[in-house]
Copies of this chain bind each other. A is one copy, B any other.
Amino acid sequence: MTAVTFRLDATDGTARAGTLTLPHGAVETPAFMPVGTQGTVRALSPLDLEAIGTGMVLANTYHLHVRPGEEIVVALGGLHRFMAWRRPILTDSGGFQVFSLEGFRRVDDDGVEFQSHVDGARRRLTPERAVEIQWALGSDVAMALDHVVPGGADATLAASAMHRTTRWLRRALARHATLAAEQPGRQTLWPIVQGAAHRELRTAHAREVLEVADWSGVAIGGLAVGEPKPVMYGILELLEPELPRQRPRYLMGVGFPEDLLASVARGVDLFDCVAPTRNGRNGSAYTPDGPVNIRNAAHRRDDAPLDATCDCETCRTYSRGYLRHLFVAEELLGLRLLSLHNVRFLIRLASDARRQIRAGSFDPWHRQWMDRYNPRRNRET
């Protein structure tokens, strides 16, 4: 028995609308997952997230392992009960975090040793441990541990890390299969396609990964890490025909509104990013006319909502002038209200894209949307 299915509801060129069914419910794609790093989407409650139509959230395996520790999460009823989130959760593998940490880190074929950012203690992560931790957490989708290299890594380093990622993937799958034998359909495991910015490695790795198993979904890692946009778009176009049509594709760490739409156009179904909450806490809000800095003095006596087209509590309730006041006066409510709006903006963007795909009008809509969101860039390209 597997509880995980993906149904392709419609396509429009390479853009896709689907329904991903997971143990804790169904998610309509394209979909954006807000990030709950430490078991909470910063400044937002589960009720807030439900109110703005969040279908699925991401939580960070590394962070939850280091604090409070998965044994505490288990004692408190598993990750869903712990963070009071009833719908699907995807956990990352911890790989990205471990390889992004400042300070000590040593990687070999067995796994990676690193220093906890909380207490400085040395810890080890292996493909098996990453699977075990995520199994303990009880997320719907677990990610296999990958060896992450910097975006600009040369072909030798990128190839070696990528082949190691494939070897780790086989071990992760074996461990996951043993655990899942006891409780089938509790959780599914997805691989991560790496290869940095090297096109030949990307194609090779996609093929390697897909030879290992018939995955219920495939992630694309190592993009949106600072490379020029055309490089990312090019790799997505390259991978699109390589990836199984009937499986969801998850682009890790994306992103900004314009990147989300550009990636939907290139066949991506799932996204996650800290940007909407992080930018929100910095006073930057997405609007159909581009980002707005709410601290700007221009908003001082502006009675208009942040985004007149938005249906979130922030836009239905407060003026820009009040939101500016909250930020200038350093009030906590401001952090929450802008985070709420920004996440709603991306969720609505994904669901608008879905509607346009189903109507066969994604391309012209996408062009029009970009034109309004960022007229200058649009004229330049």
Nearest chain B CB to A333 CB, angstrom units: 5
Q: Using Cβ atoms and an 8 Å threshold, which residues of chain B touch A317?
A: 46, 84
Is A45 engaged at the interface, CB distance under 8 Å to the other chain?
Answer: yes
Cβ contact within 8 Å between A76 and B331: no
Cβ contact within 8 Å between A332 and B42: yes
Q: Using Cβ atoms and an 8 Å threshold, which residues of chain B touch A337?
A: 45
Q: How far is the CA of A255 from the CA of B134 in the complex (A)?
A: 45
Cβ contact within 8 Å between A303 and B77: yes
Q: Using Cβ atoms and an 8 Å threshold, which residues of chain B touch A303?
A: 75-77
Is A367 engaged at the interface, CB distance under 8 Å to the other chain?
Answer: no
Take A45-B313, A75-B303 as given contacts and tell me if A322 and B84 are in contact as well, using a CB distance cutoff of 8 Å.
yes
Is A321 engaged at the interface, CB distance under 8 Å to the other chain?
Answer: yes
Q: How far is the CA of A335 from the CA of B317 in the complex (A)?
A: 22
Is A201 engaged at the interface, CB distance under 8 Å to the other chain?
Answer: no
Q: Using Cβ atoms and an 8 Å threshold, which residues of chain B touch A82?
A: 319, 321-322, 325
Is A359 engaged at the interface, CB distance under 8 Å to the other chain?
Answer: no
For A64-79 the 0/1 string (1 means CB < 8 A from B) is: 0001100010011100
Cβ contact within 8 Å between B326 and A40: yes
Is A300 engaged at the interface, CB distance under 8 Å to the other chain?
Answer: yes
Take A47-B313, A84-B318 as given contacts and tell me if A76 and B329 are in contact as well, using a CB distance cutoff of 8 Å.
no
Residue of B nearest to A301 (CB): B75
Is A343 engaged at the interface, CB distance under 8 Å to the other chain?
Answer: no
Is A39 engaged at the interface, CB distance under 8 Å to the other chain?
Answer: yes
Is A38 engaged at the interface, CB distance under 8 Å to the other chain?
Answer: yes
- Choose among B83, B319, B326 the residue that contacts A322 (Cβ–Cβ < 8 A): B83
Q: How far is the CA of A333 from the CA of B340 in the complex (A)?
A: 13
Residue of B nearest to A328 (CB): B67
Nearest chain B CB to A246 CB, angstrom units: 37
Is A43 engaged at the interface, CB distance under 8 Å to the other chain?
Answer: yes
Find the residue from A45, A335, A337 having the highest chain B CB count within 10 A: A45
Is A336 engaged at the interface, CB distance under 8 Å to the other chain?
Answer: yes
Residue of B nearest to A330 (CB): B38
Nearest chain B CB to A85 CB, angstrom units: 10
Q: Which of A40-73 contact B (CB under 8 A)?
A: 40, 42-47, 67-68, 72
Residue of B nearest to A332 (CB): B43
Take A77-B303, A82-B319, A319-B82 as given contacts and tell me if A325 and B39 are in contact as well, using a CB distance cutoff of 8 Å.
yes
Q: Using Cβ atoms and an 8 Å threshold, which residues of chain B touch A68?
A: 300, 321, 325, 328-329
Nearest chain B CB to A65 CB, angstrom units: 13
Cβ contact within 8 Å between A72 and B301: yes
Can you give 27 A-B contacts (C-beta < 8 A)?
Answer: A38-B325, A38-B329, A38-B331, A39-B325, A39-B329, A40-B333, A42-B333, A43-B332, A44-B333, A45-B333, A45-B337, A68-B300, A68-B321, A68-B328, A72-B301, A72-B321, A72-B325, A75-B301, A76-B301, A76-B322, A77-B319, A81-B319, A82-B319, A82-B322, A82-B325, A332-B335, A336-B336
